Structure 1
Amino acid sequence: MSRDWEVLETRLLSDNWAVLKTTRLRLTGRDGAMSEQWRETYDRGDGAVILPYDPERRHVLLVRQFRWPAAYNGETDAFLIEAAAGLLDADDPEACIRAEAEQELGLTLGPVTRLFELYSSPGSVTERLTYFVAPYGAGDAVARFGGLAEEGEETEVLDLPLGTALAMVAAGEIRDSKTVLLLQYAALHLMPEETS
């Protein structure tokens, strides 16, 4: 049986940095019964994220930056370690991630590999991220700090061994889901541990 849905009403709650709406829906369940529900959506646009990796040194490039939601949640350290990412605005995902790599990492990317598109929090956030990886070399990353001042960004660039980054995940020092996912991808597919 088809599981249909219909929008009955939408109300704008906020249109500040992003758009917050509440919507009344009519849903048809598996058994054919209809129900009405209110759902909120937070629409900040789609984005892209990149993990540059150095296969020779087994390193990755990450950034550390202040995140207000972490501070809001009472984190003692609200400077989170993340893979470089940004909103698409009018760009396609690859153009976006190339610009973000230059702004946040001081890195001009060569060939990039597009992995997949994922929702991070589909219960209420509309953002869909396109994930990328790209190789870099020891001499390619020249920035120590980055970010766009006009966007309130100030990032510290971290050139870390993959093993160190994975240990930081296990220790709770890296807590950003997109970053954890990309580090795990790198460990499994890009720079797997050699076994004897």
Structure 2
Amino acid sequence: MGVNTKWDILEERLLSDNWAVLKTTRLRFQFSDGAVSEQWRETYDRGDGATILPYDPMRRHILLGRQFRWPVAYNNDGDPHLIEAAAGLLEGTAPEERICEEAQEELGLALTAPEFLFELYSSPGSITERMHYFAAQYSADEAQQKFGGLREEGEEIEILDLPLGEALAMIGDGRIRDAKTVILLQYAALHLMPETKT
């Protein structure tokens, strides 16, 4: 049967409208047993995003980027240069179109028909973002660019053309710590380039 919570918004306050919108909202919940609860919740709304994993089934390689991430540096959490799948905010653009732009900007790939995989909430406790996940094939000839990113947006991205097995091992040893990238690599291992059994 599951949880069947009813809710109403009682009050909403804007806390910040800088790069994204931060609000606090007072809600009234009525739970399935009839109990009522009022609570304040914060939401951080920066819009939805898209991410992509380019993969080469012939070589069993994938293409990722390595870039500086301020929140990791802020946390003083080791190397602040994270290895990630290319991604970006939609900013009013269709997910398929946006992810082709990001693949070009970040990885130097000219993609035309990315394969949609699924949508996931990244951190639904407080962040409204839905991430649209994609995959697309590429070849070794297309993976010649060493750096990507837009300098005017403060980006310098090292492009990494890696064997899938090595990338999966990098999850275990802590070199890959980005959630969307872990999800895409595991999806690739299960569905895009599964190990053949003899």
Shift of 1:9: 0.7
Runs (4 or more) in structure 1 with deviation over 6 Å come to none
Match of 1:167 in 2: 169
Question: How high is the sequence identity, in percent, across the aligned residues?
Answer: 68
Query: Structure 2 residue aligned with 1:153, among 145, 155, 172?
Result: 155
Shift of 1:175: 0.5
Distance 1:19 1:150 in 2: 23
Match of 1:111 in 2: 113
AA paired with 1:92? A
AA paired with 1:153? E
The alignment status of 1:81 with 2:112, answered yes or no, reads no
Shift of 1:3: 2.2
Shift of 1:2: 4.7
SS at match of 2:117: strand
Match of 1:187 in 2: 189
**1:71-119 Cα shifts (integer Å, max 9, x gaps):** 1111120000000000000100000000000000000014311011100
Shift of 1:38: 0.5
Shift of 1:153: 1.3
SS at match of 2:43: strand
Distance 1:143 1:111 in 2: 21
Match of 1:70 in 2: 72
Query: Structure 2 residue aligned with 1:40, among 39, 42, 59?
Result: 42
Size of the aligned set, in residue pairs, is 196
Partners of 1:110 and 1:134 within 8 A in 2: no
Shift of 1:37: 0.7
Distance 2:36 2:170 in 1: 47
The alignment status of 1:19 with 2:21, answered yes or no, reads yes
Distance 2:97 2:112 in 1: 12
SS at match of 1:126: coil
Partners of 2:100 and 2:112 within 8 A in 1: no
Partners of 1:110 and 1:135 within 8 A in 2: no
TM-score scaled by length of structure 1: 0.97
Partners of 1:148 and 1:154 within 8 A in 2: yes
- Structure 1 window deviating more from structure 2 (85-94 vs 68-77): it is 68-77
SS at match of 1:139: helix
Shift of 1:141: 2.1
Shift of 1:140: 1.2
Query: Structure 2 residue aligned with 1:92, among 71, 94, 105?
Result: 94
Partners of 2:11 and 2:26 within 8 A in 1: yes
Distance 2:72 2:146 in 1: 23
**1:15-48 Cα shifts (integer Å, max 9, x gaps):** 1111111110001111111110100001111000
Distance 2:15 2:141 in 1: 48
Distance 2:62 2:152 in 1: 27
TM-score scaled by length of structure 2: 0.96
Partners of 1:105 and 1:143 within 8 A in 2: yes
Distance 1:150 1:40 in 2: 31
Distance 1:10 1:81 in 2: 37
